[in-house]
Amino acid sequence: MRVLFTAARHEAIRALRNRTFRVAAALVAALLAAAFLLEAARHTGEARQRAALQDLVHRQWVEQPDRHPHRAAHYGSFAFRPPSPLGFFDPGLESFAGTSIFLEPHQRNALSFSEAAQSSELARFGTPSAAFVLQVLLPLLIFCMTFASVAGEREAGTWALAVSQGVDARVLLAGKALGALLAVALWLAPLLALALAGALLTGIVDASGDTLVRAALLAGGYAVYLIACTALGVLVSSSHRRAQAALLTLLGLWVALWIVVPRLATQAASRLHPTPSRAQVELDLARAIRDVGDSHDPSNPHFQELQRSTLAEHGASRVEDLPVNYGGIVMREGERITTALFNDYYTRLFDAHRAQDGLALRAGLFTPLLAIRSFSMGLAGTDAHHLVDFEQQAEAHRYAFIQHLNHLHITRIRWQNDRAQRVDRAEWSAFSPFEHRRPPAGWALSRVAPSGLAVLAWAAALSLGVVLFTRRRGEAS
């Protein structure tokens, strides 16, 4: 242990004394600080705006005049997606996902008005976030710091001298990896802690136990990720006799595994598991509604049977003799049918998205970037799983909202002269506004556990590779 810590201290001091490392570390720290400040400002502004718009929409709904329930249904409402508390750290899909859903009858809408869709082409590439800096740029810094850890000492002759003194080469390699991690932690950990403390004090992040658990899991995941990157740097350095060759190898690996492979994996996932276009979706749904039952077609067999069963239930011979409004019953049944069809379609759509995510995760076996990206977005609450959860909660609210109005249509509006009637505006206050309930940290962790295990597997495999490679080469000779 004494030799291990001595080697680690020596490596950390060597790195911190290196002017190139200090400059690069300062640039990365500046990027992190800028990313935190910019994303925090954006996150705070969007959270306040969406909360204000949700209150405005509900106030407009409550203040509307007396109306026919079906007219009120088509007046509709909105569900605004609140930004995730940790979205300022890893915005994930925030810029590409919509901000709100219009809630209306006969239709399940998707999220719309995304930031990327309303921005310039350059803005669609996204803004640099703290997560991006840690995932992509920090490994490059680690590679530039570790490329000469072993190869450089070989060139200088100090490596053979140390090993000739009876020091186990594997202990030296472990010490160098530990020292590199220590050098990074000395400036990175205080910066991240300061950013989290500032976010808590300014109210950007709520101090709930769920948020703190997510933040702790994120910290652990990124620590394992940095261990994997450091082990890769030391492993490549130990496999070369010259520092320049080790640097070129590491730069090539960074370009391939951090730039090329993730891009190819994303394109392959979209091609192998394509999603239908909006026009195709509308055509398919129109056909399905026609086959199952169209509430606007009186001759439709399904609704003819509905009329017969309703008359039989109430012992009436004509819809005019029913004690309830048959038009509202038709609207209620039509809403049930269309909702089932839309839910079936969206289930298949979400399955296609999950298949894409699964393929990208399998590609994480070839690059740790995809694994840590999925893990980070999931715990930050900005991945596809959280977006799907929001859409499902919004749809459940929409269905209950519309069926409540259909119930008013059935019970408060008479069949005769249906369209000319109104219900009292006091009824609108009985409708509660949409409120999104964020899933707990355990729910998020269960969905990104494979990604976390993939990051852990990378760290374990590369660390083991250092040991096995060192033993195979007989470094002690």
pLDDT in tens, 345-386: 888 888 887 887 777 777 767 889 999 999 999 999 999 899
**Alpha-carbon separation of residue 399 from 16, 73, 306, 333, 404 (angstroms):** 60, 11, 20, 12, 8
**How many CB atoms within 10 Å of residue 19?**
7
CA distance 186 to 377: 25
The string of pLDDT tens digits covering residues 94-115 is 888 889 999 999 888 888 877 6
Q: What is the mean pLDDT of residues 424-440?
A: 93
Using pLDDT thresholds of 50, 70 and 90, give the confidence band for residue 199: confident
CA distance 28 to 339: 49
Give me the pLDDT at residue 42, please: 87
**Alpha-carbon separation of residue 382 from 81, 93, 326, 377 (angstroms):** 11, 6, 44, 5
Give me the pLDDT at residue 331, please: 92
CA distance 70 to 68: 6
Q: What is the mean pLDDT of residues 159-188?
A: 82
The string of pLDDT tens digits covering residues 18-36 is 888 888 889 999 999 999 8
Using pLDDT thresholds of 50, 70 and 90, give the confidence band for residue 227: very high
Q: Does position 442 have pLDDT exceeding 80, yes or no?
A: yes
DSSP E strand stretches across 125-274: none
Give me the pLDDT at residue 477, please: 42
Q: What is the mean pLDDT of residues 429-450?
A: 93
Q: Counting every residue, how long is the chain?
A: 477
Query: Which long-range contacts (C-beta less than 8 Å, at least 24 apart) are formed by 395-399?
Result: 395/108, 395/339, 395/342, 395/343, 395/346, 397/79, 397/103, 397/434, 398/79, 398/101, 398/103, 398/104, 398/108, 399/335, 399/339
- The percent of residues in the chain predicted with pLDDT above 70, rounded, is 93
CA distance 139 to 179: 15
Whether residue 105 contacts residue 402, with contact meaning beta carbons closer than 8 Å, is answered with yes
The string of pLDDT tens digits covering residues 23-71 is 888 999 999 999 988 888 888 899 999 999 999 999 999 999 999 999 9
Element (H, E) at 101: strand 100-103
Give me the pLDDT at residue 322, please: 92
Whether residue 97 contacts residue 114, with contact meaning beta carbons closer than 8 Å, is answered with yes
Q: pTM for this one? A: 0.87
Higher pLDDT, 245 or 274: 245
CA distance 124 to 306: 50
Average pLDDT, the chain: 87
Give me the pLDDT at residue 390, please: 95
Give the residue from 351, 352, 374 showing the smallest Cα distance to 362.
374
Lowest mean pLDDT segment, chosen from 278-287, 311-320, 335-344, 408-417: 278-287
CA distance 155 to 235: 16
Residues near 29 by Cβ (< 8 Å), separated by ≥ 6? 187, 188, 191
The CA R_g of the chain, rounded to the nearest whole Å, is 30
Lowest mean pLDDT segment, chosen from 163-172, 211-220, 292-301: 292-301
CA distance 402 to 181: 56
Whether residue 27 contacts residue 140, with contact meaning beta carbons closer than 8 Å, is answered with no
